[in-house]
């Protein structure tokens, strides 16, 4: 007997509606609809998400999926930190801000004047990034962009789930990304909420991962999507990384592997039983986010294939519309380890002329300036791999055990060149797959919520049985060159 579950998977570059069918211990996927997400510029110059357009695309995808047999449930996941403001009737009050909007940097400085970093970390265990929800909410309060008739905020994926279920709650994995959630108490930090002056009435209730929000679609959603009215709506892990980590096909014991969720962002970490709130974790700027179980994802949120995406966007605007496959091919043909950058440098986080930024960094650090798209992309990919190596070394020191295998999940796992660079840079085995890890984790969590499969271990067995995995091992002939590159990388400035 088979069952079908629908995942709404929203990423920073694209969104997907994906159907997953479970049958005889295997999961098969069918992509129903794919659409761009991306930032839009508002008339006031701010960066926003066009949530009405995104929602329209989602409902279009659900209508296309409605004819599939055996649909039992649906759930949405998305990136963290961003949110919508809703009135008492659940109506959207404004386009949500994009996490790359410039308002966040001064907001972070203001919050640090109200409450020390050490206290914020002790309350939340979360990495300090200027776009965390804590700082965005402070910006809303300071800039008076908090709508007067706001009744609550909701993370993006939870808003989509609310449209389908009528249940306006936040799921714990995405709540944990806000830097307002206490992972020990497993609830909102009143101390931080009061520190920024946010009225507590605006906080949504928090539910754990794999919560059934509704056993039926609310009437309006059923009418708009044509899905069976008996379709359950489930809060799986609303944060995309939490869903992706559930789909890591690990067979090793927990104390021998780490994961890299690879996409626009790279999220590299380990799965732990409980939060790690030590001074060393604070100093390393790692984060403790909640996963299913509950588990803790101790990870570092670092720049990822955003570097490549922004290069591609820039060249496309100039009339050279390369595919990702073409860029990877050109990078493979370029000279190895010629030019390195520090991807952590703030200049690379902002939108703009990424090839120009990489060239400027090369000039300033007296390195060969990339002359071609292939050289530029190779510099970005090799530098990312070296950053992964540095981050893995820090992770091992924090968790106090060695990592033998790195699992790469998500769309970035399709970049076979980066996977090999990562194996060479880290001197570890790299296992890539599944590509649609977030949707896979979302779907398997729906099945767990509905008691179709018993637990996380069973879900990971299904992943291993269902999807092709690719293993990259370090190339011995390249070891000396990568060893020298590590030393060069350590000297690069973070500016």
Residues noted as catalytic: 240
Question: Is the CB of residue 215 less than 8 Å from the CB of residue 223?
Answer: no
The H or E element that residue 39 is part of is: strand 39-41
Residues 6+ apart with CB under 8 A from 301: 127, 129, 265, 266, 267, 287
Measured distance CA(318)–CA(313) in Å, rounded: 9
Cis before 392 (ω within 30): no
Question: Is the CB of residue 243 less than 8 Å from the CB of residue 438?
Answer: yes
Alpha-carbon distances, residue 237 vs 187, 247, 297, 438 (angstroms):
16, 12, 13, 9
Inter-axis angle of helices 416-426 and 479-490, nearest 10: 80
Q: What is the DSSP string of 464-483?
A: HHHS--EEE---GGGHHHHH
The strand pair at 3-10 and 429-432 is best described as unpaired
Measured distance CA(289)–CA(283) in Å, rounded: 17
Strands (E), 292-364: 295-303
- Locate 334 and state its tokens: 């370029």
Question: Is the CB of residue 214 less than 8 Å from the CB of residue 166?
Answer: yes
Nearest to 197 by CA among 152, 153, 261, 138: 138
Measured distance CA(17)–CA(33) in Å, rounded: 5
Alpha-carbon distances, residue 99 vs 47, 132, 250, 278, 347 (angstroms):
8, 8, 32, 27, 16
Alpha-carbon distances, residue 323 vs 309, 355, 376, 403, 484 (angstroms):
10, 16, 15, 34, 32
DSSP code at position 93: -
Question: Is the CB of residue 450 less than 8 Å from the CB of residue 15?
Answer: no
In total, the chain counts a number of residues equal to 495
Question: Is the CB of residue 473 less than 8 Å from the CB of residue 406?
Answer: no
- Locate 395 and state its tokens: 């992770």
Nearest to 65 by CA among 12, 18, 2: 18
Alpha-carbon distances, residue 385 vs 6, 56, 242, 378, 485 (angstroms):
34, 37, 22, 11, 11
Hey, how many other C-beta atoms are within 10 angstroms of the C-beta on 178?
25
């Amino acid at each position: 007997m088979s069952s079908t579950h629908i995942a709404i998977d929203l990423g920073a570059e694209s969104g997907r509606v994906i159907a997953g069918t479970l049958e005889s211990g295997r999961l098969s996927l069918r992509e129903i609809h794919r659409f761009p997400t991306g930032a839009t510029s508002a008339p006031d110059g701010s960066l926003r998400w066009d949530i009405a357009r995104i929602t329209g695309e989602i409902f279009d995808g659900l209508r296309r999926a409605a004819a599939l047999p055996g649909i039992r449930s649906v759930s949405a996941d998305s990136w963290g930190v961003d949110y919508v403001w809703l009135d008492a009737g659940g109506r959207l009050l404004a386009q949500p801000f994009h996490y790359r909007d410039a308002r966040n940097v001064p907001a972070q400085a203001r919050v640090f004047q109200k409450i020390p970093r050490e206290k914020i970390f002790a309350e939340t265990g979360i990495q300090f990034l200027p776009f965390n929800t804590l700082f965005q909410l402070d910006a809303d309060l300071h800039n008076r962009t908090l709508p007067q008739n706001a009744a609550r905020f909701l993370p993006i994926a939870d808003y989509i789930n609310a449209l389908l279920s009528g249940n306006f709650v936040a799921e714990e994995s995405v709540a944990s990304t806000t830097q307002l959630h206490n992972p020990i108490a497993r609830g909102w930090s009143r101390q931080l909420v009061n520190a920024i002056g946010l009225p507590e009435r605006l906080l949504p209730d928090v539910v754990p991962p794999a919560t059934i929000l509704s056993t039926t679609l609310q009437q309006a959603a059923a009418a708009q999507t044509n899905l069976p009215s008996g379709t359950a709506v489930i809060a799986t892990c609303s944060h995309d990384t939490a869903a992706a980590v559930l789909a890591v096909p690990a067979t090793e014991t927990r104390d021998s592997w780490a994961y890299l969720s690879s996409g626009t962002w790279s999220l590299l970490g380990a799965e732990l039983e409980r939060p790690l709130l030590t001074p060393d974790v604070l100093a390393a700027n790692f984060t403790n986010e909640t996963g299913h179980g509950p588990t803790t994802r101790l990870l570092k949120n670092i720049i990822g294939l955003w570097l490549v995406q922004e290069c591609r966007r820039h060249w496309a605007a100039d009339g050279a519309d390369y595919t990702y496959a073409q860029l990877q091919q050109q990078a493979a043909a370029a000279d190895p380890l010629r030019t390195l950058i520090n991807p952590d440098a703030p200049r690379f986080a902002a939108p703009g002329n990424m090839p120009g930024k990489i060239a400027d960094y090369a000039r300033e650090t007296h390195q060969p300036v990339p002359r071609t798209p292939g050289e530029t992309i190779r510099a970005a990919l090799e530098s990312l791999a070296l950053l992964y190596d540095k981050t893995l070394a820090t992770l091992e020191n924090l968790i106090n055990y060695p990592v033998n295998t790195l699992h790469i999940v998500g769309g970035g796992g399709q970049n076979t060149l980066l996977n090999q660079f990562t194996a060479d840079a880290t001197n570890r085995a790299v296992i890539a797959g599944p590509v649609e890890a977030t949707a896979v984790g979302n779907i398997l969590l729906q099945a767990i919520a509905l008691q179709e499969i018993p637990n996380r271990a069973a879900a990971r067995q299904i992943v291993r049985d269902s999807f092709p995995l690719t293993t990259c091992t370090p190339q011995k002939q390249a070891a000396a060159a990568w060893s020298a590159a590590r030393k060069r990388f350590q000297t690069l400035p973070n500016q």
